[in-house]
């Protein structure tokens, strides 16, 4: 396993001199990453690619090669695998398409690859994948650089994860990524291998999975039961319906597992279920940035009474409570709330804002709520208007949230796009920001549900 992530040498078979070709982009991504090993392009028609000496074949490289990335037509991969065996290669990422996902002929070719790999002790990621995105190495054929060394690892049967979604996350700094692994048809290396590997990785705080089939259900449950008490595992399962299962078969050649069986596995293991890619990302964000709450008691801070009413309903429907604030907390708020409008949960800041402005009203309300022993988490609702700029620029929400060790989320409903985008961009780097009340409260409820499981496990 380590050769995929900690190799001392890598070769790209299919490295191209054409900047528009996948083989060129993969090589350039590796060069632009923090990869510390030796890099060997394979191109029989070029002397060099991207400024590196090119070789006609793997067997022409004079040095040892540990990792090979293959991006050539599928029909040539068996010969390359034979070369890998002769060369003593330890790990191979096959990003080429045209295997089990296209039918019987492709499956036959994929089986040949697996046979060569097993006979020669080679681990294979893919085929039909986009490989790895990390600070240390990027093998994706989508241009990506400046990857952080974060705390979220994403594993999935989707090229999207290590391509467009990875680029979105890295450029917008919306998730603190550690590794992204696109495993495609998972002819050898599968979700169980990676779940176990990253379950033992101290620098991975959250694991997110997108699967279209489970390779070995018993093994998956066994590993997940061991990992979930240590760190949250989030799963988006594709192929839950007949239409989805048919799409999965042509996408990665996967035979989708029965949705009821998957749901049972989720309940048995404490895995957190996401319903789409947005939730997969949002749940990873809240778990990677916020502490686990000690209880389900929530304080809500908003500038509109109607929003407080709607949030109250949503919280209760998701198993959370809005308790009365303690006397100490309400006393802290007396100087920013009018006498005729005493503070209570949900906290409506509108009249306080008229007296002292949003920043001071928010500072007082957050400090009072978070210091209250009756409160386990806080929901802050902000609007995208010019008066919110000071809160953004001063990092008011982030700085106060950091002091108390309790989860804080931000929901944003109305405003001008200019300021709403700024809210998402600036606050969204450090903490979860949601563009709907329901998505924010659902994510917070997942934190609480995980807290229950962890506390049960501790006992």
Q: What is the DSSP string of 342-359?
A: ---SSEE-HHHHHHH-HH
Mean pLDDT of 360-369: 98
| The pair of three-digit structure tokens given for residue 135, joined into one six-digit string | 């600070």
Q: Are residues 198 and 330 in the same domain?
A: no
- Lowest-pLDDT choice from 42-46, 186-190, 339-343, 370-374: 339-343
pLDDT digits (tens, 9 = 90+) for 21-48: 999 999 999 999 999 999 999 999 999 9
**Of 185, 85, 95, 102, nearest in space to 132 by CA:** 95
Q: Are residues 175 and 47 in the same domain?
A: yes
Per the prediction, the chain carries an average pLDDT of 93
Percent of the chain exceeding pLDDT 70 equals: 95
Q: Are residues 405 and 299 in the same domain?
A: yes
pLDDT of residue 263: 86
Q: Are residues 260 and 313 in the same domain?
A: no
Mean pLDDT of 283-297: 97
Mean pLDDT of 10-23: 98
Whether residue 316 has pLDDT greater than 50: yes
User: Would you tell me the crossing angle of helices 437-458 and 305-317 to the nearest 10 degrees?
Assistant: 40
Q: Are residues 256 and 303 in the same domain?
A: no
Residue with tokens 């501790």: 458
Whether residue 321 has pLDDT greater than 50: yes
How many domains are contained in the chain? 2
Tally the residues of the chain: 459
The answer to whether 140 touches 24, Cβ cutoff 8 Å, is no
pLDDT digits (tens, 9 = 90+) for 79-89: 999 999 999 99
Q: Are residues 418 and 271 in the same domain?
A: no
Mean pLDDT of 55-64: 98
Q: Are residues 323 and 453 in the same domain?
A: yes
Query: Considering just the CA atoms, what is the radius of gyration of the chain in Å?
Result: 25
pLDDT of residue 248: 55
| The pair of three-digit structure tokens given for residue 44, joined into one six-digit string | 């029989």
Distance, in Å, from the CA atom of 261 to the CA atom of 210, rounded to the nearest integer, reads 16
pLDDT of residue 459: 47
Q: Residue 252: pLDDT band by 50, 70, 90 thresholds?
A: low
Q: Are residues 296 and 276 in the same domain?
A: no
pLDDT digits (tens, 9 = 90+) for 178-234: 999 999 999 999 999 999 999 999 999 999 999 988 888 899 999 999 999 999 999
The answer to whether 428 touches 284, Cβ cutoff 8 Å, is no
pLDDT of residue 434: 97
pLDDT of residue 203: 97
Strands (E), 192-285: 206-211, 233-237, 272-274
pTM: 0.93
Q: Are residues 238 and 134 in the same domain?
A: yes
Return the number of other C-beta atoms located less than 10 Å from residue 240's C-beta.
Answer: 18
pLDDT digits (tens, 9 = 90+) for 381-394: 999 999 999 999 99
pLDDT of residue 258: 65
**Of 175, 289, 181, nearest in space to 232 by CA:** 289
Q: Residue 345: pLDDT band by 50, 70, 90 thresholds?
A: very high
Q: Residue 242: pLDDT band by 50, 70, 90 thresholds?
A: low
Q: Are residues 166 and 222 in the same domain?
A: yes
Mean pLDDT of 427-436: 95
Q: Are residues 269 and 335 in the same domain?
A: no
Last residue of a domain, one of 288, 323, 339: 288
Q: Are residues 363 and 245 in the same domain?
A: no
The CA-to-CA distance between both ends of the chain, in Å, stands at 34
Mean pLDDT of 241-267: 67
Residue 452, helix vs strand vs coil: helix
The domain of 79 spans 2-288
The answer to whether 441 touches 286, Cβ cutoff 8 Å, is no
Residue with tokens 């990785």: 201
pLDDT of residue 161: 79
What CATH number did the domain enclosing 158 receive?
A: 3.40.50.261
Whether residue 458 has pLDDT greater than 70: no
Last residue of a domain, one of 240, 265, 288: 288
Last residue of a domain, one of 288, 303, 323: 288
pLDDT digits (tens, 9 = 90+) for 98-156: 999 999 999 999 999 999 999 999 999 999 999 999 999 999 999 999 999 999 999 99
């Amino acid at each position: 396993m380590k050769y995929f992530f900690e190799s001392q040498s890598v070769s790209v078979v299919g490295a191209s001199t054409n900047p528009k070709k996948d083989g060129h982009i993969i090589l350039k991504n590796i060069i632009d990453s923090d990869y510390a090993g030796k890099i060997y392009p394979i191109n029989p028609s070029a002397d060099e690619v991207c400024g590196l000496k090119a070789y006609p074949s793997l067997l022409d490289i004079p040095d040892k090669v540990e990792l090979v990335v293959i991006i050539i037509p599928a029909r040539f991969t068996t010969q390359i695998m034979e070369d890998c065996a002769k060369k003593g290669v330890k790990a191979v990422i096959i990003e080429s398409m045209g295997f089990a996902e296209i039918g019987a002929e492709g499956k036959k070719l994929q089986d040949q690859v697996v046979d060569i790999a097993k006979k020669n002790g080679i681990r294979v990621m893919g085929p039909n994948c986009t490989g790895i995105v990390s600070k240390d190495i990027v093998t994706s054929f989508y241009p990506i650089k400046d990857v952080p060394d974060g705390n979220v690892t994403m594993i999935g049967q989707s090229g999207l994860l290590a391509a467009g979604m990875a680029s979105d996350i890295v450029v917008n700094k919306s998730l603190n990524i550690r590794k992204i692994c696109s495993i495609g048809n998972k002819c050898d290396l599968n979700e169980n291998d990676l779940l176990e590997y990253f379950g033992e990785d101290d620098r991975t705080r959250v694991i997110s999975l997108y699967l279209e089939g489970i390779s070995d259900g018993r093994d998956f449950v066994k590993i997940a039961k061991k990992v979930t008490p240590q760190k949250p595992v989030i799963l988006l399962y594709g192929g839950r319906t007949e239409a989805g299962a048919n799409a999965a078969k042509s996408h990665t050649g996967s035979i989708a597992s029965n949705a009821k069986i998957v749901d049972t596995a989720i309940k048995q293991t404490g895995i957190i279920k996401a319903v789409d890619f947005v939730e997969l990302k949002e749940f990873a964000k809240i778990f990677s940035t916020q502490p686990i709450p000690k209880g389900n008691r929530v304080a809500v801070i908003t500038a509109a009474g109607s929003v407080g009413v709607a949030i109250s309903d949503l919280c209760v429907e998701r198993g959370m409570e809005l308790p009365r604030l303690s006397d100490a907390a309400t006393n802290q708020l007396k100087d920013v709330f009018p006498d005729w409008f005493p503070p209570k949960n949900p906290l409506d800041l509108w009249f306080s804002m008229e007296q002292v402005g949003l920043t001071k009203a928010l500072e007082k309300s957050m400090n009072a709520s978070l210091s209250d022993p009756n409160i386990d988490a806080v929901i802050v609702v902000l609007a995208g208007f010019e008066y919110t700029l000071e809160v953004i620029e001063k990092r008011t929400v982030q700085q106060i949230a950091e002091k108390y060790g309790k989860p804080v989320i931000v929901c944003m409903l109305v405003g001008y796009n200019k300021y709403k985008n700024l809210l998402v961009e600036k606050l969204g780097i450090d903490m979860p920001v949601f563009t709907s009340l329901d998505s924010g409260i659902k994510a917070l409820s997942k934190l609480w549900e995980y807290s229950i499981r962890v506390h049960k496990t501790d006992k």
